[in-house]
Structures are given as C-alpha cells and as structure tokens.
Chains A and B, each alone.
Chain A
Amino acid sequence: MAKLAHAAAAPAAAATVGVGFILKKALISALVALVLFSLMIGVRTEAGPEGGLIYWTRFGDLAGMVGGVFVGSIVVELLRMWWGPVDTAKMMPAGARKTLGLAGRVVAPALLIFTVLVPVIFYNQRYILDLGILVLTYVMLGWGLNIVVGLAGLLDLGYVAFYAVGAYSYALLATNFGLSFWICLPLAGILAAFWGVILGFPVLRLRGDYLAIVTLAFGEIIRLVIINWQGLTGGPNGVSGIPRPTLFGIPLSPGPNGLAAHLGIPFSPTHRLVFLFYLILILALITNWATIRLRRLPIGRAWEALREDEVACRALGINTTTTKLTAFATGALFGGFAGAFFATRQGFISPESFTFQESALVLAIVVLGGMGSQLGVALAAVALIGGFELFRGLDQFRMLVFGMAMVLLMIWRPRGLIGHRAPTVYLQHKQAISSDLVKEGHG
C-alpha cells in the first residue's frame, strides 16, 4: 500500500523538480568532471626522444568530455524523472511467476538444442565456432565457480589459480611424459581439487571479505610461482607444443591414421574445431549435471545452508569444515577440467592467461547470473563474452567498458539477472522467491 502511494506521489514530485534543479546538478557534475579530467585528459605525457618526459595539451578532448558529462547528467536526470523512483518488486506476482517458470522450463532446453546445433548451422564460419568454444569455456568456469560462490556462498577471487593448475598440469604431463589428453584430464582435475583443499584449509576460519582477499592472494601466489619457477614452467615464455586432443587415440589430423581417413571423408581443419566444441559442451554439461545432482544431496544442501547462515548451520550439527573444503575442492575440480581443455585448445599457455582479470570476469559472470542460478550463469557468460567480442575493435577501451558495465550492473541489479532462490525442498508447492528477501550471513 505504501508503495502504491509512493508511486502516485512520484509525478507530483517530478513536477516540482524544475529545470533549475536539473541544470544546477548538471553544472556541478560538469565542474567535478572538469577538475577530475583537467590533468589526466587535458595533458598527455610521454617519454620524449631524449629520454626525458614531454607533454602536450589536449583541451579539445577535455572540453568534449566535460560537455559529455554535462549533457549526460541532464539525460540521466530526465530519465530518472520519466521512470520515477525505482523499486524492485520483492514478491513476484503470481502471473509473472508462472510466465517465468514456463520460460525457465522452455528457455534452457531451447538453448541447449541450439547449442548442440551450432556446429551444424555455422559449420563454415570458423569465427563463430571459435567464439562458441570460448563462451562455453566461460560457461563451464562460471558453473564451476558457482558451486563455491553461488551455492556455498564463499567469495573466491582466485578461481583462476585452479584454472591455471589444470592447464599447467595437462601441459606439463603431456609435454614431459607424453600422456594423452584423456589420462591427463582427470589428473588435472584431481590436482586442481587438491590445491582447492590446500587453499581451503587456511581459509576455513575466515569470512566474507577476508576470505576474498586471501583467495586473491592465493591466485597471485600461484601466478607468481608459475612466472618465476622457470625450470619447471618455462616462466613468462610459457609452455608450447601442447598436444592436441584425440578422439580416444585417433588423432584429428590429415594422413592415414587420422579420423578423416578412418571415416573415409576428406580431411578438413574444421573437424577439430567441431570436436573441441562438443568436447567443451560435454564437459560443461557434466559440470551442470553434477551441480544439479549435488544440490539434492546432503552435501549440496549443507552448502546452501552455509551460504544462508553459518552460525545456524553449526548449531544444526553441520560440519562446516568438511562442507567448505568439499565446496572448494569441487569448484576447483571443474576449474581444473576447464584449464586442461584450455591448454589443449590453445596448444600454448603462459602466465598471462591467468591474471586477476580472468578471476574477476568469471566472478562477474556468476554474480550477474544471479549466484546459484545455472541458467542465469549461462546467459551471463553469453552476454559478457559476447559483449567483450563486440568491443574487440576498441581494444584499449575494452576493459574500461567492462569495468563500467560491472559497476552499472551492480547498481541496476545487485542480485544478478536471475536473482531468486529456488528451493530443492518445499512444502506443498514449489515457490521461487526473490533473493532480495534473503538475508545472507557471512559465509
């Protein structure tokens, strides 16, 4: 009721907010922008020909930016008036819930069927296949991290460390001992899970932000060790000549032993791409399937209970130590699988692929997807990686846009695209609630 009154009052309030107010606000914004940009945009420095620094001015750019802020501020104010106060609906109306439920049932299979058909439809478009493989890799990483962050509520900023462990495990085992991809894949996963447990032990007592910073430090330690342990990892030069995957021993190469020769069809390099596409699709689906099944097991329920309230969890006799460790290990396991796939796809890996930005990107996918929603994570991966590709032309602006998008998305939808809780156990009928209603403890 109060909300209705609020909404009715909005146009009246808008009428009283005059042109003067908007102009004043825009002027202040422009003034702030002028000071902020004065030196950083207005002046450009560069090392001169004699080694000393030289600078030149760019007042045109500065004026453009300040003008842009002025106009942008007016536009934002007008839009805010147009929409009125933004208030998220806490309880979804029955109709909306029904449509959403239907959409949820339809969208996921439709997406899956489409994904399976992608190599058939776009067989001749190498770029789309490559992009598809990239997106699926991130979908898999997102689903893996979702176990740790979305289900168990443990904020992990160093997920890329497990990705790196998986990638380097495969690369080193394959190049040094000649082991095949199919033997290395489980090994890479197990090694990554092992590191997950190693990270898990010290952080058992930590919560929230502390946990985040320790996992971040752990990710950096792994990267720094990879860079500096040149004897093993090749340091910044990376590992090259990583063998390509085989279809259970049959290489996808031209020549009499290749798959094409066995099937009696002419060889084409696209075969390998299609094979990689289905390989990562299967790996991702295994991750998804395992997550869905685990959620229904006691351990999965313990994860979700841990996310909601750790103290209550302990009071109910759940062993938080094993619960946290299994969450880390399971998440790391799938990260390791994804890493091994990444290594075999690239054929070359170096520490540059495993920076903090990568961790942040995967975390952004999970949070944008709504923390815990499998479909949401997949959609977020498509949106983010697709968006990244769109801005490929604007190379140096890409991360800038990514950062801005992250801030704006958090302000617009802090709970992600699909921010709801779908309980696995329910009384009488299943009902999803908005996650705004949930008061999360510090996991």
Chain B
Amino acid sequence: MDYFAQQLINGLVLGSIYGLIAIGYTMVYGIVGMINFAHGDIFMIGGFIALISFLILVSFGLTFVPLILLVVLLVSMAITALYGWTVERIAYRPLRHSFRLAPMLSAIGMSFVLMNYAQVSQGARVKPVPPIITGGYTLHESADGFNVQLSNVQILVVVTTVILLGIFTWLVAKTRLGRDMRACEQDQTMAALLGVDVDRTISMTFVIGAALASVAGMMYLLYYGLVDFSMGFIAGIKAFTAAVLGGIGSLPGAMLGGLLIGLIETFWSAYFSVEYKDVAAFSILIIVLIFMPTGLLGRPEVEKV
C-alpha cells in the first residue's frame, strides 16, 4: 500500500509536467488544426534557458532560493515564449492556407532545427544540476522501512501547475484574448469578419503554449536535475498522447490526459518493467485512438460533405 501511495505521488508529479506540455499541443490543434511537432523541443529549450539563467544567477551570488526560482521562471517563460512566437512566424504562418501536409512537415523540420540548435550551441552531453530544492516530508512510516515521501520539489511542481492552470483557465474564459481564441477555434473567417485579429490570436496561442512548456521544462530540470538536447522528442510525443487521450482541443482534457499518462507510466515502471514504459505509453495512445478517437473529454468530429 505504501509503495502504491508513493507511486501515486510520483505519477501525479510527472503527470503535471506532461499536462503543462499537452496544453500547448491541444491549444494549437484546436485553433490551427495542426500538430505542432516542435512543441516538445520548445519544452527542451525552456529547460535549457532555465538552467542557464539559474547558473548565472547563482554565480552572481544570489542565495535566496524563492527569489532565484521566481526570476528563473519569468526569464525562461519570456524567452521561450519568444521562441514559440518566432517558430510560428517563420515556419507556420507562411503555410497557413497551404495543403494539409505542408505545415506538419515544416513543423518536423523546425523540430530538427531546435534540437540540433541546442546540441550545437550547448553541446551534446547531458547537463546535470545539483538539487536546488532539498528536503521534504515523510507522510507515512511503515514497519518494513519503506516510507512514503513527499519532497518539496514535488510540492512545488504540483502547486505551480495548479496556479498556472488557474491563471490560464481565467485567461481563456474571461479575457478578450481568450474570447478571440475561442472564436478563432470555431470559425476563423467569421472571427476575422467580426474584427478579431486572427494572426495575432494565433501568435498569442503559440506564445502561451511555449510559456507553459517552458515552465514544464523548468519543472523537469528541478525534478530530475538534468537537461539534454534530445529530451524534447519523447516528452513531446507523450504529451501529445496526453492531449489525444484527454480529447484534443479540450483544455481540462489535456491536463487530465497528462495526469493519466504520468500515472500509467509510473505504475507500469513500478509494477512491470522500466524498459517498456515508453512502449506502454505509446500503446495507450494507439488503443485510445481505436476505441475513443475523440478522447475522454473531446467533442466528436463530424465531417460534412
């Protein structure tokens, strides 16, 4: 039971990270109708920028951890958001009205560009960081020596995710920008006729998605203590799986899917085999698409002739 509880905590933390990335996929898919293949690499870039800004702040002699974390969070969100904006501007906007394969291939190309850009500029080796946040709580002590631990990093990851999700939900539900985004999702031409700046709204979607991905990158860095130029690919596919599982286009669905994928992956590693955890995640994707193509919270897609 203790082992189960521990895995549950681990799975929820991992799931929060996946959920943050999945929101970017689901938003872009909802509005533009394309899989933003480069999104996983945006997450990786976010991790790198968090790492570098963290190193610089520490070398300047800053020691107050909450302040460091806040500055790193803001810097990496800002710069990564600009990456998201640039990627959309360069690779997707010229292809907005092209045939359906073109933006997808352009996105795959962009994913290679970002991945190898990180490799060339920062080197191919894994970058480890010492634990920044230490300590935690022991929730339950058992007789056989296995204690259920909840570390401060895990609390931080979950709390940050919940706060961001709250801000984001408010943004989509209550603000002008959110209304524009929902309008573009339904009908771009009609939205444009009614005075919505479609280009700007789509840009903002990418910016927000990238900002959330950068937070996920920073959380990954804090939780696992390393970044690596190739980590975006697998994380990206899993987050996309999460988005599909939850129902693509649905924001609560993305978060729910992220949590489920995190839990499935963790429990699979814990009870079956670590080697096949990615296979499990991908098999889930295939099974979900066969039996529930619209996901858990998605709307059924009706094709009109």
Interfacial residues, chain A to chain B (CB-CB below 8 A): 32, 35-36, 38-41, 43-47, 51-53, 55, 155, 202-203, 205-206, 208-210, 212-214, 216-218, 220-221, 224-225, 227-228, 311-312, 356-357, 360, 363-364, 367, 371, 396-397, 399-400, 402-407, 410-411, 414-415, 435, 440, 442
Contact = CB atoms under 8 A, between A and B. Distances in A.
Interface string B108-150: 1111111111111111110111100000000000000000000
A402 B290 CA distance: 34
A75 to B, nearest CB: 16
Interface residues of B, number: 71
A211 to B, nearest CB: 9
A440 B100 CA distance: 8
B172 interface: no
Contact of B129 (A36, A53, A406, A415): A53
A210 B126 CA distance: 32
B122 A45 contact: yes
B123 A46 contact: yes
Contacts of B101: 155, 367, 371, 414
Contacts of A402: 109, 112
A404 B95 contact: no
Contact of B52 (A39, A225, A364, A403): A39
A399 B112 contact: yes
B202 interface: no
A360 to B, nearest CB: 5
Which of B102, B121, B290 has the most chain A CB atoms closer than 10 A to its own CB? B121
Nearest to B93: A411
B90 interface: yes
Given A35-B82, A407-B106, A410-B109, A47 B128 contact: yes
Contacts of B121: 40-41, 44
A108 to B, nearest CB: 25
B112 A217 contact: no
12 contacts: A32-B86, A36-B83, A39-B75, A43-B56, A47-B127, A53-B51, A53-B128, A202-B286, A203-B289, A206-B293, A414-B95, A414-B101
A55 B115 contact: no
A410 B100 contact: no
B104 A403 contact: no
Given A36-B86, A44-B122, A224-B279, 6 more contacts: A52-B130, A213-B285, A217-B282, A400-B116, A410-B103, A411-B94
Contacts of B112: 357, 360, 399-400, 402-403, 406
B56 A55 contact: yes
A363 B100 CA distance: 14
B31 to A, nearest CB: 14
If over half of B's interface residues share one DSSP class (helix, strand or loop), that class is named, otherwise mixed; here it is helix
Interface in B19-72: 29, 33-35, 45, 48-49, 51-53, 55-56, 59
Contacts of A371: 101
B279 A40 contact: no
Contacts of B189: none
Contacts of A411: 91, 94-95, 106
A404 B117 CA distance: 11
B129 to A, nearest CB: 6
B122 A40 contact: yes
A59 to B, nearest CB: 13
A214 B109 contact: no
A381 B105 CA distance: 16
Contacts of B125: 46-47
Nearest to A412: B94
Contacts of A36: 79, 82-83, 86
Nearest to A228: B275
User: Which A-B residue pairs are the 3 nearest by beta carbons?
Assistant: A406-B109, A403-B112, A403-B113
Contacts of B104: 155, 209, 212
A39 B105 contact: no
A220 B100 contact: no
Nearest to B98: A414
Given A212-B104, A213-B240, A407 B86 contact: no
Contacts of A202: 286, 289-290
A53 B48 CA distance: 13
Nearest to B53: A39
Nearest to A359: B108
A52 B104 CA distance: 39
Nearest to A220: B282
A403 B90 CA distance: 13
B159 to A, nearest CB: 26
B219 interface: no
Contact of B99 (A206, A225, A414): A414
Nearest to B55: A55
A356 B128 CA distance: 26
Contact of A217 (B116, B124, B237): B237
Contacts of B286: 202, 214, 217-218
A81 to B, nearest CB: 17
A151 to B, nearest CB: 14
B106 A311 contact: no
B278 A220 contact: yes
B233 interface: yes
B283 interface: yes
A284 B34 CA distance: 33
A218 B282 CA distance: 8
A40 B119 CA distance: 10
A442 B102 CA distance: 14
B241 to A, nearest CB: 7
B289 A363 contact: no
Interface in B253-283: 275-276, 278-279, 282-283
A220 B241 CA distance: 13
Contacts of B51: 45, 53
Contacts of B52: 39-40, 43, 45, 55
Given A39-B79, A217-B282, A311-B305, A403 B105 contact: no
B303 interface: yes
A225 B105 contact: no
Which of B75, B99, B111, B240 has the most chain A CB atoms closer than 10 A to its own CB? B99
Given A32-B82, A210-B289, A40 B305 contact: no
Contacts of B276: 224, 228
B204 to A, nearest CB: 16
B73 interface: no
Contacts of B279: 221, 224-225, 228
A435 B99 CA distance: 10
A312 B244 CA distance: 27
Nearest to B275: A228
